[in-house]
Amino acid sequence: MDDHLLRFKKDTKYVLIDCETENLCLHSTNNLPWQIGMIKAEGEKKVEEQDLWLTWDRDIDVSKDAARITHFNYDTYKERAKDAKNLFPIVQDWLDNADYIIGHNILGFDIYLLKDYYNYMGADYKHLLPKIIDTNCVAKGVKYGFKFSPREDFLLYQYKVLHTHKRGVRTNLKALGEEFEIDFDPDKLHEALYDLELNLKVWNKLKCMIEL
């Protein structure tokens, strides 16, 4: 029986997370998240969301490209943002109590910002790693024909896929949404919560393609 697979489990607790940041640097010295979106899901259904806008010990300096892509508005940011120290318990509680943490390219990007956030708060992040599902890696693994065996370490499998590159393979959220015939608005992509709504639908398709 395969009822141990995630596709059959209706009570699995997922947290999907996405960081919108100043630029694409992987260290908080030069790049801080100004928004962290999170969706809590049980099985295939969203049950709760958090849209957190953060201030830090220095001013946010969003690059022109990042501002254009994410529709960043400084006035809106100043109005909505709260001290990152005060918001951390929410992030920590959601991630610590999830069965799995899902992000699109989380292993290639967001985990570095989350690591620095945990370090900033004097907390350890390493216990989060075994819970991570990177939908970008899963999609690449499927397209590359890299089968996952339950005897493998899933984190190591994902890192193997992450560091393998094949030309012409498209696995961004927009491409996957179109491939899976999911109804979405491309103009709203790179808004954290909207990306997560699409990412949940993408994961619900991908989990039927991997023996996890």
CATH number at residue 68: 3.30.420.10
| 184 found inside a domain | yes
Please report the pLDDT score of residue 187 as a whole number: 82
CA distances from 100 to 27, 41, 45, 131, 166 (A): 24, 10, 14, 5, 28
* Within a domain: 13: yes
Q: For 65-118, write each residue's pLDDT tens digit.
A: 999 988 899 999 999 999 999 999 999 999 999 999 999 999 999 999 999 999
| pTM, entire model | 0.95
145, 136, 94, 135: which is closest to 117 by C-alpha? Answer: 94
Question: For position 1, what pLDDT does the model report?
Answer: 46
Structural domain count, the chain: 1
Decide if 212 is inside a domain.
Answer: no
Domain assignment of residue 1, yes or no? no
- HSE-up of residue 10 (Cα within 13 Å, Cβ side): 0
Q: Which domain holds residue 148?
A: 6-206
- Determine how many CB atoms are found less than 10 A away from the CB of residue 126: 8
- The model's pLDDT over 36-46, given as tens digits with 9 standing for 90+, comes to 999 999 999 99
pLDDT the model gives residue 115: 97
Residue 163 lies in a domain: yes
